[in-house]
Amino acid sequence: MTSPLENPAAVPVIEARGLTKIYQMGEVEVPALRGVDFVLGEGEFVVLLGASGSGKSTLLNLLGGLDVPTDGWLAYRGRELTHLGEAGLTAYRRHHVGFVFQFYNLIPSLTALENVALVTEIAEDPLSPAEALELVGLGPRRDHFPSQLSGGEQQRVAIARAIAKRPDVLLCDEPTGALDFQTGVLVLEVIERVNAELGTTTAVITHNAPVARIADRVVMLADGLVHGVEANATRVPASELTW
Amino acid sequence: MLVDALHRKLFRNLAELRGQLVTIALVVACGIAAYVCLRSTWDSLLFSRTTYYERYRFADVFATCKRAPEALRGRLEAIPGVAIAETRVTERVLIPLDDLPEPASGRVVSIPAGRSPALDALFLRSGRLVEPGHNDEVVLLETFAKGHDLTPGSRFPVVFNGQRRQLRVVGTAASPEYIMAMAPGDLTPDPLRFAVLWMDRDALAPAFQMQGAFNDLTLRLQPGASEPAVLEAVDTLLEPYGGLGTVGRSKQLSHFMLSGELSQLEGMASVVPVIFLGVAAFLLNVVLSRLVFLQRSQIAALKALGYRDLTIGLHFLELVSVIVLLGAAGGLGLGIWFGRMMTELYAAFFHFPVLEYRLAPSVVFAAVGISLLAALAGALFTVRAVVRLPPAEAMRPPAPTIYHRTVLERLGLLALLGPAARMVVREIERRPLRLLLSSVGIAMAVAITVIGQFWGDAMDFMIDVQFGGAMREDLTVVFTEPRPARAVRELAHLPGVLRVEGLREVPVRVRSGAGFRDSILIGYPDEPDLRRLLDQYGKPHPLPVSGVVLTDKLAELFDIEPGQSVTLEVREGDRRHLDVLVSGLVGESFGLRVHARAATVAPLLGEEPLVTTALLLVDPATAGATRARLKELPAVASVTRRDNLAERFVEQSRAMIVTFSIILTLFASVIAVGVVYNNARVALSMRSRELASLRVLGFSQAEVGAILLGELAVQVLLAIPAGLAIGTWLAGLMMSTVDPETYRFPVVVSARSYAFAVVVALVSGVISALLVRRRLQSLDLIGVLKTRD
Ligand SMILES: Nc1ncnc2c1ncn2[C@@H]1O[C@H](COP(=O)(O)OP(=O)(O)OP(=O)(O)O)[C@@H](O)[C@H]1O
Ligand SMILES: [Mg+2]
């Protein structure tokens, strides 16, 4: 029997069972995740939806090895992440995960190309930084500093930086959060293209429900729990989105 | 209580930044403490000395002659500018005490019958003054009395003019005239072997056939009187009575020695604190401007919310003021504590009767004011620059202004380095000014460590040149009067004497135009071995066959060049005036002297070769017996051991210097750690977002640490050579404040001091690195991603 939670066709890349995260704020405990089951299948494009404070970022950070769960089981390709420790998690991020954040997080003192090179220099079989920038359509802006690029352009550099190492998983936390509609679409197109052309397993957090239509599956979070999962019969290309 | 939001921000900022604030406040505290400690000690000592001089009526002019009639007093007092003239009888005596292997030397000084002297009064420490009619009563110099357990009531023998007399101590005293009590010709005071004995004039005069006469004169000048004019007039009046020279206070032996001691302190007290404060101010400026810079986007946000520039500016100035005032309070407390300690130490050493710790309000104001100003200036400039930006721009991270492929990159060298090293190189190449400022800060810390050590080095070096190179004899024998050269050969025949050389020393006055300096003309053997002429670096200076060699400072004073001639007025014998050729100059560490071969000196003086001093090399096995034999010779006035002399010199001068060095080094080290740590912390907070991003991208803790600490290492490594150079330069500056007619130490810093400064810098670097590494481990990866700076 298959539940809509899982995509039967795909090999699981990341698998989480009963994932719990409790932030200790002095006396007060803030439960951010309260037992989440979640699977990310090979090559899948998943969108995470949910109200503010529902635990989306917390989940994504756990999946990406930025933080450790309070309880529960979490594995990458069958290898448990929960007990890896600091060095192990660093290696995991270094070799397998690409991150994109709402605020780009580029290094201001490095040019677009150098920001990408930052990752290719430590990765195992990376794209060339120029190639990665071409992929996001920023080849001509390679020698510009972040401050000389628009927000959308900066975000595309961040995506180029995330995918240059040919990650197995691309995790994006509100990549369009700081952008206008058209620029946002442009950024989503790039992510979509990476997913399609490089086959990178992708998870994207968004506040815009319409964006969910470009995904294979949509996972809805509420109050630290998975509230529902929907599989899209057909994926709508980002270019055709409206909201 | 109602606290507005901005003040709450202030308190939270203070709490967040406490590690940094504490180190900044420590730097301020150390700067202020060093300033306050040194200045107040110096002020207190000068004040104590001045009070002592005033209260005990220290004279302005001192003269000696063979024997002048008391009637001359009226004419002396009539010299324009003279307020009081006090005549005295003083003589050298010997004090054969049982607890001394050889007799101590003493100076007996008359006090007027039945009254306290009008000048150079006694500061009675125990007992009473002598009473007229009691011819065996004596008031004894306190230090000597204490050293030999002589108290009022004790009796001890004194040899007057060859006659042994038993005297009774009725009191012990100190005097402004004998703060540094020492026999003429000695290099340092020796409290056990030099005594001053004050006796009733009527009791004393007959022993030296001085009834109705005097041989010692002290004067008090009227305010505004011309000292040189008075000196000349006194000299002229005393000339017929065997005048032996008239000097102002500056050449009075005790005052001169005391000034020499204090001038070393002055060098420290005037330059060092300014350097400390300057360095602290500079660091404060750099660190605070960065701290403000970090709050750039917050300032922008406040502006966007409608806060006025002035309000924002004041907010930051409050932050800065809190840090400085905390540091200042600590620094003042520490400075006063150390200052009191030092003052007491010194005052005990000099036996000042009045000791008052003085902290001039101006010192406090200067210390706190300079720190506060520097801090506010640093913060204000940055706040102003940030406030001027339109908020929108201020909220973006600052754009790197210029970008070009750096030299290393173009050469392809960068490709050889790992990514972390590459980031370090790029960061440095792109922000050279920041690197420079940080390095300068650390260099200053290194520099003050160097100057903390420098005085000890200078002393060691000078002692080494003086006692290791210039004076190589075991014993110095001074004759009671000039002896024929054969006296030297006679000494050579004494058992245990290995080698003897004679010196002819003649007091002279060097004159050029209206100016003059009292000096000594020294005649050396043709091939001097036991006493050589060395310059301040210890390099031997050969004596010319003809003409004289002047201390370079003396030549400089009178603008004399080698090849010119100089006038020497001989101050003994027939008191002739000589015009002699200056054939060379020598840069000596102290004194203003004239050197020549004895063969040159004798014809000049119109005498057969004579000697006044004999230098002896003796068999160490029988040295004691040899010394005893020498003491018995009637022609011998004193016998001094060089090793004793060196020891005493070291003991006396080192103790103070070492105390100061320790205090300075302590402060310098705190400043060094403060600077290095703050640099690293500021670098960490300026780049924490960047570093966290790198961690997210998969850089390990070690790699991220290498980026930050690599920069720190480069800063420290650049700073070290610069700091050593600056320190050496500052040492020279400090040296230049010392009266050049007294001491001229070469600016020599020992390898040990350099090494110490380097170690302080490196240790500061390591401590800072460890502190920063701890912070790095707790870098908030997720938090930093949620916000945009
Ligand atoms: N460091 C933290 N300390 C304490 N509580 C935290 C922390 N981070 C997150 N939380 C809490 O955990 C819960 C989930 O936070 P999370 O950031 O995952 O929400 P989110 O779904 O990403 O919200 P948004 O859409 O606003 O980004 C929230 O209630 C939040 O307050
Ligand atoms: Mg979120």
Q: Does residue B614 share a domain with residue B667?
A: no
Q: Does residue B178 share a domain with residue B98?
A: yes
Instruction: Quote ipTM for the complex.
Output: 0.78
- Given an 8 Å threshold on Cβ–Cβ distance, is A109 in contact with B426? yes
CA atoms within 13 A on the CB side of B425: 17
- At B410, the amino acid letter reads R
- CB of B430 within 8 Å of a chain A CB? The answer is yes
Of B624, B646, B668, the position where a domain reaches its end is: B646
Give rounded-to-5 percent helix, strand, coil for chain B.
55, 20, 25
CA of A107: which chain B residue's CA is closest?
Answer: B690
Q: Does residue B142 share a domain with residue B209?
A: yes
> Kindly report the CA angle at A220 between A217 and A226, in degrees rounded to 5?
110
**Cα-Cα end-to-end distance for chain A:** 36
CA of A164: which chain B residue's CA is closest?
Answer: B697
Is the pLDDT at B560 greater than 90, yes or no? no
Q: Does residue B112 share a domain with residue B253?
A: yes
Query: Does residue A56's CB lie within 6 angstroms of at least one atom of ligand 1?
Result: yes
Q: Does residue B651 share a domain with residue B636?
A: no
pLDDT in tens, B580-613: 999 988 888 777 889 999 888 888 888 888 898 9
Q: Which two tokens stand for residue A203?
A: 């998870």
Q: B677 versus A164: which is more confidently predicted? A: A164
Q: How many domains does chain B have?
A: 3
pLDDT (0 to 100) of residue B508: 86
Phi, psi of B426 (to 5 degrees): -65, -45
- C-alpha B377, offset from chain centre: 33
pLDDT (0 to 100) of residue B649: 66
pLDDT (0 to 100) of residue B67: 92
Query: Does residue A52's CB lie within 6 angstroms of at least one atom of ligand 1?
Result: yes
Q: Does residue B678 share a domain with residue B529?
A: no
- Given an 8 Å threshold on Cβ–Cβ distance, is B782 in contact with A61? yes
pLDDT in tens, A118-171: 788 778 888 899 988 988 888 899 888 887 888 888 888 988 988 888 899 999
Q: Which two tokens stand for residue B721?
A: 């050579």
Please tell me the number of the ligand nearest to residue A48's CA.
Answer: 1
Q: Does residue B634 share a domain with residue B622?
A: yes
Burial B253-276 (b: 16+ CB within 10 A, else e): bbbbbbbbbbbbbbbbbebbbbbb
Which residues lie closer than 8 Å to B310 by C-beta, 6 or more apart? none
Q: Name the closest-CA residue to atom 26, ligand 1.
A: A52
Tell me if B137 sits within 8 A of B201, measured CB to CB.
no
Cα distance between residue A194 and residue A132, in whole Å: 10
pLDDT (0 to 100) of residue B397: 55
The band of B774, judged by pLDDT with boundaries at 50, 70 and 90, is confident
pLDDT (0 to 100) of residue B191: 80
Phi, psi of B526 (to 5 degrees): -60, -40
Cα distance between residue B743 and residue B587, in whole Å: 11
- CB of A94 within 8 Å of a chain B CB? The answer is yes
Looking up tokens 């007992």, which residue turns up? B127
pTM beyond 0.80: no
Residue B307 lies in a domain: no
pLDDT in tens, B567-588: 888 877 788 888 999 998 888 8
Q: Name the closest-CA residue to atom 29, ligand 1.
A: A53
Number of helices (H), then strands (E), in chain B: 22, 20
Is the pLDDT at B758 greater than 60, yes or no? yes
Extents of the domains making up chain A: 12-236
Domain A12-236: give its CATH architecture: 3-Layer(aba) Sandwich (3.40)
pLDDT cut 70: percent of chain B above it: 88
Q: Is B322 helix (H, G, I), strand (E, B) or coil?
A: helix
pLDDT cut 70: percent of chain A above it: 95
pLDDT (0 to 100) of residue B395: 57
Of B219, B234, B257, the position where a domain reaches its end is: B257
Whole-angstrom Cα Rg for chain B: 34
Looking up tokens 């004159």, which residue turns up? B511
Looking up tokens 């995330």, which residue turns up? A162
CA of A143: which chain B residue's CA is closest?
Answer: B403
pLDDT (0 to 100) of residue A219: 94
Q: Does residue B486 share a domain with residue B459?
A: no
CA of A90: which chain B residue's CA is closest?
Answer: B698
Which of A90-94, A145-149, A198-202 has the least mean pLDDT? A145-149
- CB of B694 within 8 Å of a chain A CB? The answer is yes
Instruction: Give the C-alpha distances (Å, rounded to integers) separating B527 from B431, B443, B530, B596.
Output: 63, 48, 9, 12
- Given an 8 Å threshold on Cβ–Cβ distance, is A118 in contact with B694? yes
Q: Does residue B707 share a domain with residue B786?
A: yes
What is the residue-averaged pLDDT of chain B? 82
Length of chain A counted residue by residue = 243
pLDDT cut 90: percent of chain B above it: 17
Closest by CA position to B594, among listed B698, B679, B523, B690:
B523
The band of B402, judged by pLDDT with boundaries at 50, 70 and 90, is very low
* Interface probe with A: pick from B404, B406, B785, B787, most Cβ of A within 10 Å: B785
Tell me if B219 sits within 8 A of B59, measured CB to CB.
yes
Q: Does residue B695 share a domain with residue B639?
A: no
Of B199, B224, B257, the position where a domain reaches its end is: B257
Mean pLDDT of B250-258: 84
Q: Domain limits at B505?
A: 471-646
Contacts of A160 in chain B (CB under 8 A): none
pLDDT (0 to 100) of residue B684: 78
How deeply is B327 buried, as exposed, middle or buried, from its count of CB atoms within 10 A (0-12, 13-18, 19+)? buried
Atom of ligand 1 nearest to the CA of A60: 18
Cα distance between residue B426 and residue B128, in whole Å: 81
* Interface probe with A: pick from B297, B429, B697, most Cβ of A within 10 Å: B697
* Interface probe with A: pick from B433, B696, B701, most Cβ of A within 10 Å: B696
pLDDT (0 to 100) of residue B71: 92
The band of A3, judged by pLDDT with boundaries at 50, 70 and 90, is very low
pLDDT (0 to 100) of residue B76: 92
pLDDT (0 to 100) of residue A2: 38
Q: Does residue B538 share a domain with residue B447?
A: no
> Kindly report the CA angle at B264 between B258 and B268, in degrees rounded to 5?
135
Top-confidence range, B166-170, B381-385, B624-628: B166-170
Q: Which two tokens stand for residue A121?
A: 């220099």
Q: Name the closest-CA residue to atom 22, ligand 1.
A: A57
Residue B637 lies in a domain: yes
Tell me if B280 sits within 8 A of B671, measured CB to CB.
yes
Q: Which two tokens stand for residue B55?
A: 């209260």
Phi, psi of B784 (to 5 degrees): -70, -20
pLDDT in tens, B307-357: 777 777 787 788 788 888 888 899 999 999 988 988 888 777 777 877 778
Note the maximum CA span of chain A: 53
pLDDT in tens, B537-557: 878 888 888 889 998 888 888
Cα distance between residue A190 and residue A160, in whole Å: 9
Phi, psi of A58 (to 5 degrees): -60, -45
pLDDT in tens, A20-42: 999 888 788 999 999 999 999 99
The band of B420, judged by pLDDT with boundaries at 50, 70 and 90, is low
Residue B416 lies in a domain: no
Q: Does residue B498 share a domain with residue B629?
A: yes
Is the pLDDT at B512 greater than 80, yes or no? no
pLDDT (0 to 100) of residue A224: 93
Closest by CA position to B654, among listed B507, B455, B443, B517:
B455
Q: Which two tokens stand for residue B470?
A: 């210039």
Cα distance between residue B386 and residue B380, in whole Å: 10
